[in-house]
Every structure is written in structure tokens, then in C-alpha cells.
Structure 1
Amino acid sequence: MSSSRLGLRLAACLLNISEARRKYIVENVAKAALLERNGQKHPNVSVLNIFSDHEYNRSVITIAGSVDELGDSVLAACLEAFRSIDMEVQDGIHPCLGAVDLIPFYPLCGVGVEECGAVARSLAENLLLRVPGCSVFLFGEADLPEKRPLVQRRKQLGWFTRRDFSALEPDLGVAPARKCGLTGIGASPYVMNCNVTIDSQDLDLGKEIASAIRGSNVNGLKGVQTMAFPHQGKIEIACNVESFEDPEVIETAEGSQYMAYSVLGDQFYYVPPHYIEAQVKKLASDRGVGTIGRALIGFTPQECKNCAEYAIKEGIGEFWKIRGGVFM
């Protein structure tokens, strides 16, 4: 049964927290998302997936459900994360600025990105009230009126290199407390995370390949943001794969560079994981290097919608336990 027949308007949040090495903390954050203040379960919310990377010390928790309940659900998860994670002692090679580092909301079905932006702004205001020392930067549909994209905000704030919070100027809240750091909150069309590992320890080579497929490159992949990191003795090409609207993309076919999906009648496109992997594999091969598979951190847009519909229909709050969380 589809979400429209269920009467649900679905959205998702891919909650990024700066903890992966203490599995019990990550799972406590996920479980907190499922409970209302009175201790009752949110009937129309499910934690679909947990992806944790030990070396990065970062977890992405996919929370999906009714847009009317999702804000409260994510707030509860964030409160648990802020209680348990201290940025003064946090250690990991993945860039981050906050204990709760990123809170993006994405529309799945029956809801637009503008409403997701309103949910994001409301969450930001609630966090400031509930968490002493919390500070926020906004992006996408939550960042009014500019609607600056996440990649622009991260560059402005030095997210890729900074671990000193003292000079940061948040959009909301006071100067970041050292324990909490700075949290990004926003909304946009769905952004997928896909990583491809190359069989090399040469970080410069990884950066060269990442640059070649980056969407800002004239020959790159549209909507793909990339970074290269040392990871488990190899180099990982980490990709944020943005959904986009493009009237020039008319149709898709198996093996095409683009996949399509629709929300509220609007058509969106993205580069599928298999195509990203193929491009990285080709670029690496041209340089005499192989690849060692890919990791999709969560779901494609269609998979996220389908899993959310199924989990809510069946009343499965801890869907990640059925699907199998990934702890590395």
C-alpha cells in the first residue's frame, strides 16, 4: 500500500552525529527518535538505517516518517546525542564541527521541500531552547531568504579543515560551546551518500579522481560533491549525490547516467551509485589502480520512500535491525 493510500506525507532526515566507536550511544540516539515525550512510540516514524564508520567516528542515522511527527522525533534523537557526545574529546578523521554535525530533511512523498525547510527551522529553534550552548547554521530551504546550499555554507565556515570553534559565527544561537560545537540544519531535495574505495594509499591520487568526477568540474557528474580520505589503509572517494531538476534530462534508461523520481509531481534526477563507481573505476584504472567496491550510506530516494512506507505500514520502528545496520 502506498503512502498516499496510507494518508501519510513522508519525509526523511539523515542525522549525522560525531560518534561511531561507542555503539550503545549511537543506538540510544536512534531509539530516542522513536519515543514521544510521554514515553509512547511515535506511530508514524521509523529508524530505517544506521551507518557507522569507526575510523571516521561518524554515524548517519536515517529517520523517516510523517512530516508532522518527524521534527519532534529528530529533536529527541538530537537531545540524546548532545547529552552523550563531547566535541572537546571527539576524535576522528572525518571533518565535523558539531556533536550533532548535520541535520538535513528531505521530502519523500506528499510534501514539498519548502515544508521540510519549515520543519528544519522549527527544529533549530527548539534545539536552542533545549540545549545550552547549542548553535546552528542553516542551509537550503531553511536558510531564508538566501537558501544557500550546504556545500557553500561548509566552505564559508571552514567545515573541511576547522576544529577550533572560537571564531565561528552561527546563524542562530550564541558562539558555539566547545562541548556541542556547531550544528548544520536545513532541507533540500534528497541527497544520497555513496563512497567508492580505490586500492591505493596515495591521497593526492584520490583527490585527483575526486576532482575529476565533482559536479563543478566541466566534465564531472552533475550534482556530485566529492572528498578523498585515507580510510582503512586505502583511499575512499566520498560522494554526496544531490538530486536536481533539469529540463534537459528528458528520459532515463538502464545504464543511463541519470535516475529519475518524482515528489508532488516534480521530477528530480540523480547520478546512480553504479555509475559513480564505474566512473571512479575507469579513472583509477587509467592511473594503474583498482577499486574495492562501494558503500551506499542508507538508500537511494526511491528505496528510502519504499522502506518508510513498509516500515510504517507494518509498525516497525527499529527497521534498521531488520535491514541490518552497518558498523565498520
Structure 2
Amino acid sequence: MAQIIECVPNFSEGRNQQVIDAISKSIKSVTGVSLLDVDPGKSTNRTVYTFVGTAEGVVEAAMAASRTAYELIDMTKQSGEHPRLGALDVCPFIPVSNATLEDCVACAKMFSERLAKELDVPVYLYGFASERDYRKQVPQIRAGEYEGLSSKITKEEWKPDYGPADFRPKWGATIAGARKFLIAYNINLLSTKEQAHRIALNIREQGRSAKEPGRLKGVQGIGWWYDEGKIAQVSTNLTDLDVTSLHQVWTEVNKDATELQIPVMGSEIVGLVPLKPMIDVAEYFIEKENLFVLEEEQKVQLAVNRLGLTTLSPFHYKTRIIEYAVDNSGSSPLLNKTVREFISEVAVRKPAPGGGSVAALIGSLGAGLCRMVGLLSSGNKKFEHLEKDMRRLVPVFHAAMIRLSALIDADTRAFNSIIEANRLPSGTPELAAVKTESVQKATLNAIEVPMETAKVVNSIWDALVELAAVANITAISDLQVGAKSLETAVYGAVCNVKINLPGLDDVSQRDTLREEAEKGLETCRQGFVKSVEVIESRIKSNSK
């Protein structure tokens, strides 16, 4: 899956629709960025935009939106109920998929530097991007608001991280940073507001006081009455999903509600949510209830069902889960082709996609065949005695199939990176050094990708041998094709490793990787031989 970083800039304009639309248009103009939500507030006079993309894409979109805001928003004429410091008040970058907080810190700093340089405005860093404790939180930096900025900005301790330490009346100042994803999550109760708040006090990190903290770290919460639904809610914000998950909040609220004899009527997620927290919910219930669910979207549906996310309104996961809401078809162009299109793409007169991508495809097909044979030996009364083993083995093949599928496009991207690196200019010593470094980095990546293909395949031989010994005999020929496909995948992957090795300047590294590739071939040979021996033994035994 492609890298997805979320950016949620808050602009100090929520009443002028023309300005709101103009900023939206500027965000949409950036290729590869998806604008997911625009939320204006008239009383707050503030609009929150939510868009996602790669690191480069979200920074560029944030810049495009800022340029528009610079032309159209005048802070000397702005007022509203929401605290604010500038025309672009806050601009957080948040990791969603295949991105880290470090990536988002880099985005925040890159954006801040560009914004300050291009528009000549002051920018403060906050959250994980800030290195100063007294100005890590937005309220700390925003204290005094726009009206107090002219005197505050001249103080040494409030000198901006980027841009001039001078008051810019039309713009004010911007706060940019990196933070973890926050989920607004409400659990519905047939109770009073006071009972809901009592539970909120029990679970939220703040608790009732410093001496009486709550049970869950990284959780903010209150109880309130939701008039539209005629129910009470424990309303929470999950500020650190690495510490406390959705299912933990759900479980703890249910525990307290049961003790108070209060019915729980499902829950709701406000706004969009990343895929991982939903999968984590599913995995919790799969383990708790001893379920057997493989497919990603089935796991999402299980999470939606167990949390009761459709109680108040429909939860359309295709539009509510960020990874599904974003069109990722461009990130896996080969994987998304039809079989006919893929064959044609391989057959044309160009070097990529080539053997590395084909090896990954063959490997994914081999793992898929093993998965199929495992499923044919499961969920049937005739094979009831194998159910426990199949529930353990099938996920191994499933995970390998998914990983190998992703390597199809990764291999072609790696090869194309070498081509692009070799096209870099080298007219000066500095440019030549940059080019050399880029070529070496791209070459190493073009070696590591097929090496990963071989490693993934070699990780499932033991499971294949075990499956071959007990699997549904009527599908044994499929297992034969699967084993041969896996062997071919490793052979093809190692061939691609070896052909790229001469491009590495580091002789020691070259030798180490060659040795690793040879070991991979030997591991494959042994795994294939064992698999074939077991398969042929089963066939011979069955023919008697």
C-alpha cells in the first residue's frame, strides 16, 4: 500500500464560501493528493480541511492552500469564537499508512521552511516537530492569540522557528507540526448524562483528579446527552492508538455499564479512521471468540459489527476508512491490471516490468494455491480433524501471498529508480557525487526487493511440507503447481539479485549479498525437495 500522510490545516475563515472553495480548489489541484473533507464553522469562523497523500504531495498541497489563503484572508478583519493565531492557524501532519512520525516531522519542517521563505511569515513548530517543552502544545503557542502576537513575537523565547520575528498583521503566525492520529469515538448508552459522565471519569486518563486518575492512558472523555439520538454518550478522544485502542475503550465502557446495569447501544466514530485501528479491533475479537477470518474487508466488517458502528447511522467503510477512501490504483499499476494486460505489459520492448516482477507474481500465485488447498481442507465436516491445523497454516500462506503481491510493483519501481538515477546530471563534482550516491542507493534497493521475494517464499516451505502431509488429496496437484511456482519465484528473484550486484561499489557488501542469495537458493532447493517428497508419497499411497 502506498504511503499515506494526513494533513489537517485549520484556516481562519468559515463564513465566506468563495474563500473556502478557493482553498479547496488549490488543494485539489495538486496531483496525487485527495481532499477528503471540508468542515467550515460560521460561529468559529474557521474551516478544517482534511487531505491525504505522500509526504511530497501533502506538503505541496499545504503550500498551495497557503498561497490562496495569503491572498484572500485578512486577519485584521477576522473574528470568531475559536482561538486563533493566524490565517493558517494550525497545520498538523499525521502518519496514516506506511509513514512514521519522523516522516511527518520532516514534512512539518519542510513545509514551515517553504512557507516562511515564500510568504515571509512567522512559523512555530509544535508537537513532535518541536524540541522545546514550553512550546510543544498548540495552546502554549497560541496563548494571547492573534491580538497579543505583536508583542509576544518580539520576545526571545517566542522567536519563531522559521520566518521573521516581526508581526505580520494580515497573516499573523502559523503553527505547524506532527502528531499521532486522533480518533473521536463515542459509545452510546441508554442512561442519563450523569451516568455516562461517571463512566467517562472512570476511564479517561485525567480521571477525576490528579490523585484519582482514570484507567486508560491517552484517552480524553466526558459524558453528555445526545439529543438527536435520545441517548447518552461516553464521548472520547483517543490521542495515542499505540497506547490505547478502540476495543480497549469499548471493553472498559461495557464493563462499567454492566456493573451499573446500563444497556450499551453500539458506538460511533466521528470522521474518518485509518485502516489499522479497525483491523486491530477485528484481531481482538477473532482471538477472543476463536474466529477464522482472513480477508481484510471481512475483518473490517467484523469490527463494524462488534462495535455497533451502524447503530445511529450507516458506517460505509469504503468512504470512512482513509485507505479505502483514497484512490490507490496508481500506486500498484501492475497489480491492478487484468491478466491479459499484465502479460502484454511484460511482453513489450522495454526492460520493466521484467523477471523480478514476474518472479514476485509467480510466488504470489504459488502461495495462493497453497492457501486454496488449505481452505479446501477446512470448514468441512469431513476434514474436521484438520481444522485446528488449517487455521494455523492458512494464514501463513495468506500473508505471503499479500506480501509477494506488493513486491510485483516494488520490483519495477526499483528498476526504474536506477534508470532515473543514471539520468541525473553530473557536470560538477557536487552533482557527480549526488548522482553516484543516488545510483548506489537505487541499485541496493533493486537488490533488496527481489531478495525480499526469496525470503518471503522461503519462509513458508515448512508450512507447505506440513500441509502436503494432511491436505485434501483431491487438491494435491494444485499443491504440486504451487510448490513449483514457489521454487521458480526464488530462482527468478535470485537471478535478479545477481544481475544487479556488479552495480554496487562496495565489494564487501557485494560479497555478503551474493552469499545471502546463494543461501536463499539452497534453502529453496531443500524446501522444494521436501515438499515434493511428501506430495509424491501421498499420491503413491492414494493410488494403492
The TM-score range, normalised by the shorter chain, is 0.5 to 0.7
Q: Which has the higher helix share?
A: 2
Residue 195 of structure 1: CA displacement?
Answer: 9.8
Residues 33 and 52, structure 2, Cα contact 8 Å, conserved in 1: yes
> In structure 2, how many angstroms separate the alpha carbons of the residues matched to 1:184 and 1:251?
29
Residue 82 of structure 1: CA displacement?
Answer: 1.9
Residue 178 of structure 2 corresponds to 187
Residues 192 and 301, structure 1, Cα contact 8 Å, conserved in 2: no
Residues 117 and 163, structure 2, Cα contact 8 Å, conserved in 1: no
Residue type matched to 1:21 in 2?
A: R
Residues 46 and 308, structure 1, Cα contact 8 Å, conserved in 2: no
- RMSD over aligned CA atoms reads 3.9
Cα 1:72/1:89, change in 2 over 3 Å: same
> In structure 1, how many angstroms separate the alpha carbons of the residues matched to 2:246 and 2:143?
38
Residues 96 and 163, structure 1, Cα contact 8 Å, conserved in 2: no
Residues 86 and 146, structure 2, Cα contact 8 Å, conserved in 1: no
Deviations 1:108-134 (A, max 9, x none): 1111110111011000000011113x1
1:243-322 paired onto structure 2 within 5 Å: 243-246=240-243, 252=247, 255-257=250-252, 296=270, 298-302=271-275, 306-313=321-328
Residues 140 and 147, structure 1, Cα contact 8 Å, conserved in 2: no
Cα 1:251/1:63, change in 2 over 3 Å: closer
Residue 239 of structure 1: CA displacement?
Answer: 7.5
Residue type matched to 1:138 in 2?
A: L
SS at match of 1:166: helix
Is 1:164–2:164 an aligned residue pair?
no
Residue 11 of structure 1: CA displacement?
Answer: 0.5
Residue 32 of structure 1 corresponds to 26
Is 1:223–2:218 an aligned residue pair?
yes
Cα 1:301/1:147, change in 2 over 3 Å: farther
Match of residue 10, structure 1, among 4, 16, 20: 4
> In structure 2, how many angstroms separate the alpha carbons of the residues matched to 1:311 and 1:75?
21
1:97-108 paired onto structure 2 within 5 Å: 97-108=85-96
Deviations 1:159-218 (A, max 9, x none): 6x663211223222222311111211001211346799xxxxxxxxxxx99x96874442
Residue 264 of structure 1 corresponds to none
Residue 224 of structure 1: CA displacement?
Answer: 4.7
Residue 323 of structure 1 corresponds to none
Residue 30 of structure 1: CA displacement?
Answer: 1.4
Residue 318 of structure 1 corresponds to none
SS at match of 1:138: strand
> In structure 1, how many angstroms separate the alpha carbons of the residues matched to 2:221 and 2:78?
24
Residue type matched to 1:99 in 2?
A: A
Is 1:155–2:140 an aligned residue pair?
yes
| Farther-moved stretch of structure 1 (218-227 vs 71-80) | 218-227
Overall identity of the aligned pairs, in %: 25
Residue 245 of structure 1: CA displacement?
Answer: 2.5
Residues 140 and 148, structure 1, Cα contact 8 Å, conserved in 2: no
Residue 141 of structure 1 corresponds to 128
Q: What's the TM-score, normalizing by structure 1?
A: 0.63
Is 1:55–2:55 an aligned residue pair?
no
Residues 139 and 147, structure 1, Cα contact 8 Å, conserved in 2: no
Residue 23 of structure 1: CA displacement?
Answer: 1.4
> In structure 1, how many angstroms separate the alpha carbons of the residues matched to 2:235 and 2:321?
25
Which of structures 1 and 2 has the bigger CA Rg? Answer: 2
Residues 165 and 178, structure 1, Cα contact 8 Å, conserved in 2: no
Q: Which has the higher strand share?
A: 1
Match of residue 173, structure 1, among 163, 175, 180: 163
| Farther-moved stretch of structure 1 (26-35 vs 122-131) | 26-35
Residues 193 and 240, structure 1, Cα contact 8 Å, conserved in 2: yes
Residue type matched to 2:104 in 1?
A: C
SS at match of 2:68: helix
| Farther-moved stretch of structure 1 (178-187 vs 218-227) | 218-227
Is 1:20–2:14 an aligned residue pair?
yes
1:62-101 paired onto structure 2 within 5 Å: 62-101=50-89
Residue 239 of structure 2 corresponds to 242
Residue 97 of structure 1: CA displacement?
Answer: 0.7
> In structure 1, how many angstroms separate the alpha carbons of the residues matched to 2:246 and 2:220?
23
Residues 65 and 312, structure 1, Cα contact 8 Å, conserved in 2: no
Higher relative contact order (CA 8 A, sep 6+): 1
Q: What's the TM-score, normalizing by structure 2?
A: 0.39
Residues 105 and 188, structure 1, Cα contact 8 Å, conserved in 2: yes
> In structure 2, how many angstroms separate the alpha carbons of the residues matched to 1:80 and 1:119?
20
Residues 87 and 179, structure 1, Cα contact 8 Å, conserved in 2: yes
Q: What runs of 5+ residues in structure 1 fail to find an aligned partner?
A: 37-41, 197-207, 228-236, 259-274, 283-293, 316-328
Residue type matched to 2:100 in 1?
A: G
